[in-house]
Homo-oligomer: A and B are copies of this chain.
Amino acid sequence: MRIEIVNTGTELLLGHTLNTHGAWLGGELFKLGLRVARQTCVPDGEAIREALVEALGRADGVIVTGGLGPTSDDLTREITAELLGLDLVQDAGALASLEAFFAIRQRPMASDNLKQVYIPRGALALPNPNGTAPGVYVAADLAGRPHGAIFLLPGPPRELYPMFLAEVAPRLRLLSGVAAPPDLLEMKFTGIGESDFHQSLDASLAAIPGLEFGYCAHIGEVDLRLIGCAAAIQQARALAVEYFGPQLVSDDGSSLEETVVRLLSERGWTLATAESCCGGLIASRITDVPGASAVFTHGFVTYSNEAKRGLLGVTAEALETHGAVSEPVVRQMAEGALAASGANLAVAVTGIAGPSGGSPEKPIGTAWIAVAQRGGATRAWRVFQPRNRLDFKLGVSQAALDGLRQCLGELAG
C-alpha cells in the first residue's frame, strides 16, 4: 500500500510551528509495516486541491490532516468531496456528537460548527471525542488499485493522535494486508563519523539479503538503522559490533546519558561533574535521565579560575603555568571533584567555547577532558571541536560522557 500524508496549515510554512504530525504518523505507520512515500505540506485554503489531486493519483492510502475546522479557509471536506464527485450530506451521528460536545461543556454551539458534520456521501464519520470536527473515512479505488482509502483527520494533535490509533490504524491494518511489520533495530555509536561506517560497513551491509539500512548523524553520534527480518538484522548487528563494538552506546534506543546512568547504577557508583566550558550541560544531560538522583550527587560549574581554585582545589601554579585549558588543570579539576563530593567517579572539562578567547596555541574549539576514579588512575585527553558555541558545548559533553561510558564499560568488562 502506497501511503501519502498531506498536512494543511499556513502556520507550518511560516516558521511558527513545527510539523510534528509527519514524524508521528510516520512512526505509527511504520509499526503497521507501512511506509510514507511522501509527505506534503500546503497552506490553508485552496492549495489543498492541487496536492490532493496529485496524491490521489499516486497513492492508494492518503491521510490528510487539518482543514476540518469551522472557518472559511477550512476546505478539506469540500474539496475532497468535489474531487471524488460526491456531494456533502449531513451525518446524523456526527451531529449528535457535536451537540453533545457542547452540551457537556455547557457552551453554546456556534452555527459555524454545523458545517463540520457534513461529509461526502457514502463516507464514514470518525468519532472525535476530543474536539468538534469528526474525521472522515472514504473507501475508494485509488491510483488504479482497489481497496484504497482516504482519511481526513483533524489538525490538533490531541484530536489527531487518538483518532488515528482508534479509527485509522485498525482499518489500514486490514486494507494493507500486512501480517507482521519488519523488525527495526537502531544502534547508536559515538566517537566515530558517518564516513567511517561507509568505508568499513556499507558494502558488507548491502550484501545482506532483505536488509535495509541507513544512518543518521548527530553531533558526536551516528545512529545506524537496520530494518528487515530478524536474521538479517542480527547478521548486520554482528558486523557493526565487529567493526565498532567499543563505540556502541546502545541498541535499544537509549541515549548516551541514559547508558552512563545505567552503568553507574549497575555498579552502585556515584558521579560528580566539574565543568568549565560545558557550563552545566553535562550535569543537565545526566539529570535528564529519570533516576539520576541515585547516582549523581554533586555538580560543579567552575566558570572562573577562582571557582576552580575555591571549589575544586586547582592550584594557582597550575593555572598560571599551564592556563585554565590544560591537562594539569583538568586533572586537578576531576580529582578535586572526587575529593569534594565523595563520589566514585568524576568527569571534568575545560575548554575554549568562543566566540572569543582563542589563541594560536589553543584555538577556539580546544578542550581537555579528564575522568578520575576513586582509588584508580586519572585519564585526561584533548579534543578539538571547532564549532559554534552551542555545538561545541554539546560535542564536548558528548566526548566527556563517552569517556565515562568507556571507563565504566572497561571496569565491567
Contacts and interface: CB of A to CB of B under 8 A. Distances in A.
Given A112-B198, A288-B390, A13 B41 contact: no
Q: Which of A15, A35, A355 is the most central at the interface, judged by chain B CB atoms within 10 Å of its CB?
A: A15
Given A27-B16, A306-B297, A307-B341, A388 B219 contact: no
B299 A303 contact: yes
Interface string A37-51: 111111110010001
B280 A301 contact: yes
B35 A43 contact: yes
B14 A30 contact: yes
B16 A36 contact: no
B303 A298 contact: yes
Interface stretch (A17-25, A144-152, A168-176, A368-376): A17-25
A281 to B, nearest CB: 4
A354 B290 CA distance: 7
Most buried by B among A41, A384, A389: A41
Nearest to A31: B15
A38 B41 contact: yes
A69 interface: yes
Interface in A322-377: 340-342, 353-356
Nearest to A199: B110
A301 B302 CA distance: 11
A128 to B, nearest CB: 13
Copy number in the complex reads 2
B158 A391 contact: yes
A71 interface: yes
A214 B18 CA distance: 15
Give the interface size bracket for A toward B: 35 or more
A292 interface: yes
A24 B217 CA distance: 19
Contact of A17 (B23, B106, B341): B23
B288 A284 contact: no
Contacts of A199: 110, 112
Contacts of A136: none
A247 interface: no
A37 to B, nearest CB: 7
A22 B36 contact: no
A319 interface: no
A217 B9 CA distance: 12
A195 interface: yes
B279 A386 contact: no
A22 B38 contact: no
Contacts of A283: 279-280, 283-284, 301
Given A13-B35, A275-B299, A280-B281, 7 more contacts: A14-B30, A19-B23, A19-B39, A110-B199, A279-B292, A287-B301, A298-B310
Interface of A: 10-20, 22-28, 30, 35-44, 47, 51, 54, 69-73, 104-106, 110, 112-113, 130, 132, 156, 158, 186, 194-196, 198-199, 202, 214-217, 219, 223, 225, 273, 275, 278-284, 286-288, 290-293, 296-304, 306-307, 310-311, 340-342, 353-356, 384, 386-391, 393
11 contacts: A11-B216, A18-B23, A19-B39, A105-B386, A106-B384, A130-B387, A158-B387, A278-B284, A279-B283, A279-B299, A288-B390
In the complex, the 4 A-B pairs of residues with the closest C-beta atoms, listed nearest first: A15-B27, A279-B287, A299-B301, A280-B283
